[in-house]
A = this chain, B = another copy of it.
Amino acid sequence: MPASDFALHPRLAADTTFVADWPLARVLLMDDARHPWLILVPRRAGATEIFDLDAADRAVLIEEISRAGEGLKNLTGAAKINVGALGNLVAQLHVHIVARNIGDAAWPGPVWGQGTTEPYAPEVRDRFIGQLVNAL
């Protein structure tokens, strides 16, 4: 489907702040100060699985996953980057890129569905987004 039909799922819109539009994906910051956490949403209406994208889009997606992960690691000094495309609750295809550290709020388990979200203070969030725009 054409990119022009793309609309961000309301749940993703409510939980995140815009960072950038890359060639394929919208880059969002998850509003949870427990973990530096990006979400990439390919701007392709109707896609719910990676294999719903065509091969050209998949080739871009893996490069954007790599770019987001490496940038987030460099910026935060994370011990490990977690990448996940689950979609059990929000079907719209989206890829989580999460900076993890030993002893963080969910370590060594996954971040999804764990504990209670801790929204950023707006000025902290906006400063972090400025750093992300430079680092990614």
Chain A: residues with CB nearer than 8 A to chain B? 48-51, 53, 55, 58-59, 61-63, 65-67, 69-70, 73, 80-89, 91, 100, 107-110, 112-113
Contacts and interface: CB of A to CB of B under 8 A. Distances in A.
Nearest to A62: B62
A82 B73 contact: no
Contact of A84 (B67, B84, B89): B84
Instruction: State how many copies of this chain the complex holds.
Output: 2
A87 B49 CA distance: 22
A112 B113 contact: no
Nearest to A98: B86
18 contacts: A48-B80, A49-B73, A49-B80, A50-B81, A50-B83, A51-B69, A51-B73, A55-B63, A62-B62, A82-B84, A82-B85, A83-B86, A88-B107, A88-B108, A109-B113, A110-B110, A110-B112, A110-B113
Contacts of A65: 50
Contacts of A51: 66-67, 69-70, 73, 81
B82 A87 contact: yes
A30 to B, nearest CB: 15
A107 B59 CA distance: 30
Nearest to A96: B84
Central interface residue in A50, A67, A69, A113, by most chain B CB within 10 Å: A50
